Amino acid sequence: MLSFLRTIGSPRPKPDASAPNAKSMELLESVTNSTRKSSPTRPQHLQLPHGDAHTPTSNPDDILGLDYVPTLPPPPPNSPGTPRNQNETESAARRRNSRTPREGQGSSVALDGSLKPEGDLYDSGSKLGKLGPKVGQPRKDSFGLLTNKAGAGAGADSKEGESRLDFTICMLSTMASVAGGLRSIIAGVALLWLFGRIFMTTTIALHAVLDCIACRLLLHKGKVFKRWSVPLLAFHSVVDMAVNYLYVLSCQVVFVGFLVEPDGTTCDDWVGLYRTLETLTGVCWFVICCRFAVFVLTSMYMLLNSGKIKSCRRQANKKRINAALEEFCHDGKDMGKHVKPLKAVWTLSSILAVSWALASIIGCVRYIFLVNPPNGSGGDIRSCDPLDDSACVLPFPSNFYLNEDASTDTGFRVQIDGFSLPITKSGEFVDPSVINELDGFSTIAPILFYLEGLREGGGKGVDEGSGLPTADTLEDSLTSKSTTLLIDVDAMELVPHFSRLSLEKQEKPILTIQAASPLKHSNHYAVALVNAADADGALLPRSPGLVKLVEENDDSSSLPRSDLFKNTLLPALYSAAPWITPADTLPDNIQMLFDFSTISENSQLGKLRKVRDTTVSMLNSPTFEWTDGPEGNLKTNKIVNHDCSVPGNFIARTVHLQLSIPWFLEKYGSGHRGATLDSAKVLTGVTEETGNLKFIVEIPCSLEAAATSSFSGRELSSVVQYGHGLFYSREELISDTKFLHRMADENGYLLIAADWRGMSMFDLPIIARVLLADPSLFQATLDNLIQGYASMLCMLHYTQTSMLTELPSFLHFNGQPVPVDPDFEVTFYGISQGGILGGGYNALMGSTNLLKRSVLGVPGTPFALIMGKSADFEVFNNIMLLNFYSERDIRIMLSLIQMAWDTVEAGGLLAPPVAETPPPVLIQAGLGDAEVPTMAAEILARSYGAKTLPGNPRDVYGIPRVGAAAGSQVGPRCAYTEVLYEKEYGELPEGDETPDFNNVHFCVRLDSALQEQIVEFINEGVIVDPCEIDSCIRTKAWCL
């Protein structure tokens, strides 16, 4: 390009007179022979027609255009381009030879390539005249401007520089398109690997199609440019630069959000993906640079040919460029060998890109617009429980899906056929292998079924005032007011619960029953629908499948159920609900009845406790110690110091640490975030493999002040472990907990935090694949959580046995160590997801003595209930609808997943009988919370056996009031505190509708009265009443 710019701005070089044109010599010989045959006498001059007269040429060396017609006698050898006569100087000859023809004139070209005007028309009657129009008529270049092919002959250097510009544009466009194709392949493969669905690559495929077609059109019919090609190429370059920059921005978002740790290091599990996206970013920048160069060059073309340039100098340059384009792009022989293979390559690339785009579009249609499963059903009738014909797997849970197995603690094993479960839009059934390993059903998962006519009747009973019990009327579930009954068959008594019709506005609703607290392990339960009314208030018909089973002995289950129903379930129902009149056959008012058996404690918690116990055993081994250095198991990744003199800053130093810990997953490292537990490591309790745990330590300013002998300092009194929210990371401790920083500074708390492995932002790619493509991959999420619990246990062990006893250098200020209270204790404080998972984490840590107490902010259990009633669920619901056909299928999947999720949640760890006593816990909830429903927090409180305090704004079923700590009164060991936000609480929708977002979820943690309650709990281990004065009633959530 620089060569070209120098060429068009410099004087025309002197023609090389020593190199005659080869084509000229061929035409010379041809015309000479023709002339000799047609004329018996050699003429002295070749005469050219000009009007009616014949004027001889003045120079025997002249030729016409590109058809070299000789004059006789022939020119002297080795002297082309010499002056016409003795009086003409060489400079005059050069000026004459450099003139170009005016429009309408012909031209002559000498052997040196120079031009001269000769006239307007040629006599078509002669042979020479027939050749004339080829060179004498005006011609237009690719931009529609007048030029002549012979005008390109301005000298070898100029012609080479001008042609090089065209070649540069073509090559830059080709390189950009090749790189763009590589970019599309990298991005498409990465998305396909991450999400497992080709429709996720649709936009990338369409971009690749446009890129290939644009490059292919550039080479249409062997021509690099046409009239519209240059402005189109400029426009395409601008658009492509913008799109590639979006790629770059997207990569940066992924880097920051999912791949780069808070300490600046790359997440070990995503190193391969990080490098792939780095490569993608580099390719995109290369494409941007190429497209920018093409845009500049094509803009130059359009500017020079705009017709608005008045400068004679630029006009001359414009003509040179046009002449170069005309020769190079239309008739150039050298470019043909480059164009043809490029054209074939881009034709094939366009076909492949279009095929990719079509496959992606078909995937979009299939996953987004299809709403009905094939054949209208998601299962095989042979695998379906006949009691409920609304969906194959319903009712769920049901002993229809149990097989006898003497090797398990319960004597049964879950055996769900894949054909029973919902079918995905990919045409595959959900893999049930995860839950088929269990010996019973969940102790806390929602119970699902439906009977035709329930929606129309609204769940009401035939008796006045009867209907479905709600979370606020749990006591009704034990009386005749309830149309749903949950029966403990072994104890022959009713179990408190609440029920609701889900998806009432959908084509296929579902009835959900939720136990008020975890059910017993290894126990037999039954569910009944009684006295339910239809839309007219009449008794709903009984389930046809139930009638056949009880009255006709028509049973297709693996376990004989007909006798069981008659001899066990019905007698238990009559005993638990004496208002139902016994009958010899199935009474008309019992419309649905099914049973299920819960999982054993060992099957539900065995793996988790084995991993915990193995980790504790390895850490407590006499040969184990935490050591720093290259060969040690401790590494300091980063230390950030903060200025405590800045107002509002309460943290003096942030330390990013890394521990090498026992690893129980199958593999560790890049690409293994979706790994599952290694059964051999778990069963044998031996693992030689290690992985990394990265965590944060925050040292408040008061500890720095104490280390530097300042009077305002405080000694380290407690360690507070923070649990982050849904799909966040430990970085939340740094950026979103200013209130906790202040509490730590005022009370001398050392803050630590690690990620919830399995439910952090670094796990979002796996979660997305679970929701979009492979629900069975949820096993990896569960197993990573188990590993995450073991990792946090290692962090607590290091904190108490090494960090605060040896006081490493990062706990020194000005050479002085931070003073530590020898009786310091460790408290866990989790908010939102931190509180949900914290309920299970606290229960698991009970036997380790590494955790003294826990504060759970806006928590709940079970996760399936929380998700179904949370304002956050709408996003996940919409994503799952890309893989499932209906919201009912999604509710079924949530209940199925809960069976495995129980392992890490309080609903499983605290199911009675509770073998291990958990540390004391303080639960804080907000009435009006749209993200974690209060009903879920109440279940968690009942699981812990918590008590409410005298100032609580309301009475809660199953959570009695007791006195708070005051004076000699110790107060409850576990407490449940609520704050009532009147406006938001009154706006919560009734039934199953999803609430709108509000600030309650955030305001609970910022409430000053509740913060004081937390401080007393951490410092003194007692629970005071924060609602003693105002009953914790707030008009509105004004905290943000």
Region 943-954 average pLDDT: 96
What's the residue count for the chain?
Answer: 1040
Identity of the residue numbered 569 = L
Tell me the C-alpha distance between 211 and 353, whole Å.
9
pLDDT at 90: 55
pLDDT per residue over 141-166, tens digit each?
333 333 333 333 434 444 444 455 66
Which of 476, 396, 473 lies closest to 430, judged by CA?
A: 396
Q: Taking the C-alpha atoms of 1014, 1016, 1022 and 1024 in order, what is their torsion angle to the nearest 10 degrees?
A: -80
Region 347-355 average pLDDT: 84
Look over the chain and give the mean of its residue pLDDT values, rounded to a whole number. 82
Range with lowest mean pLDDT among 374-378, 486-490, 520-524, 765-769: 374-378
Region 274-280 average pLDDT: 93
Region 45-63 average pLDDT: 43
pLDDT per residue over 575-620, tens digit each?
999 999 998 888 999 999 999 999 999 999 999 999 999 999 999 9
pLDDT at 1030: 94
Tell me the C-alpha distance between 836 and 826, whole Å.
19
pLDDT at 1036: 94
Region 753-769 average pLDDT: 93
Residue 526 three-state SS: strand
**654 membership: H or E segment, kind and range:** strand 651-662
- Of the pLDDT bands very low, low, confident and very high (cuts 50, 70, 90), residue 966 is confident
Tell me the C-alpha distance between 941 and 498, whole Å.
16
pLDDT at 901: 92
Tell me the C-alpha distance between 725 and 703, whole Å.
27
pLDDT per residue over 703-744, tens digit each?
999 999 766 788 999 999 999 999 999 999 999 899 999 999
pLDDT at 306: 61
Region 757-770 average pLDDT: 92
- Of the pLDDT bands very low, low, confident and very high (cuts 50, 70, 90), residue 228 is low
Tell me the C-alpha distance between 317 and 321, whole Å.
6
pLDDT at 300: 79
pLDDT at 420: 87
pLDDT at 265: 92
Residue 819 confidence (pLDDT) above 60: yes
Range with lowest mean pLDDT among 66-75, 171-180, 938-947: 66-75
Residue 31 confidence (pLDDT) above 90: no
Q: Please, what's the b/e burial string for 623-641 (b: 16 or more CB within 10 A of its CB; e: otherwise)?
A: eeebeeeeeebbeeeeeee
Residue 676 confidence (pLDDT) above 70: yes
Residue 695 confidence (pLDDT) above 50: yes
Q: How crowded is residue 214: how many other Cβ atoms within 10 Å of its Cβ?
A: 23
Which of 1026, 1035, 1024 lies closest to 985, judged by CA?
A: 1035
Residue 994 confidence (pLDDT) above 90: no
Region 455-460 average pLDDT: 90
Residue 792 confidence (pLDDT) above 90: yes
What distance separates the 2 farthest-apart alpha carbons in the chain? 143
Beta bridge partners of 635: 658
Q: What percent of the chain has pLDDT over 70?
A: 77
Which of 94, 87, 396, 340 lies closest to 224, judged by CA?
A: 340
Region 779-784 average pLDDT: 94
Residue 10 confidence (pLDDT) above 60: no
558, 467 in Cβ contact below 8 A?
A: no
Q: What percent of the chain has pLDDT over 90?
A: 55
Residue 245 confidence (pLDDT) above 50: yes
Region 1020-1035 average pLDDT: 95
- Of the pLDDT bands very low, low, confident and very high (cuts 50, 70, 90), residue 886 is confident
Range with lowest mean pLDDT among 15-19, 486-490, 493-497, 762-766: 15-19
Region 632-645 average pLDDT: 94
Q: At what angle do helices 887-901 and 873-880 cross, to 10 degrees?
A: 110
pLDDT at 218: 64
pLDDT at 29: 56
pLDDT per residue over 361-380, tens digit each?
888 887 777 666 665 444 55
Tell me the C-alpha distance between 550 and 303, whole Å.
90
Range with lowest mean pLDDT among 85-94, 109-118, 1016-1025: 109-118
Range with lowest mean pLDDT among 150-154, 340-344, 544-548, 878-882: 150-154
What contacts 24+ positions apart, CB below 8 Å, involve 22-31? Answer: 23/66, 23/68, 24/63, 24/68, 24/109, 24/111, 25/68, 25/111, 26/68, 27/63, 27/66, 27/67, 27/68, 27/69, 28/63, 28/68, 28/70, 28/74, 31/67, 31/68, 31/69, 31/70, 31/128
Identity of the residue numbered 647 = P
- Name the token pair of 461: 């009973």
- Name the token pair of 456: 């129309």
pLDDT at 408: 95
pLDDT at 219: 61
Residue 65 confidence (pLDDT) above 80: no
- Of the pLDDT bands very low, low, confident and very high (cuts 50, 70, 90), residue 195 is confident
- Of the pLDDT bands very low, low, confident and very high (cuts 50, 70, 90), residue 325 is very low
DSSP 380: -
Q: Please, what's the b/e burial string for 755-776 (b: 16 or more CB within 10 A of its CB; e: otherwise)?
A: bbbbbbbbbbbbbbbbbbbbbb
Residue 641 confidence (pLDDT) above 60: yes
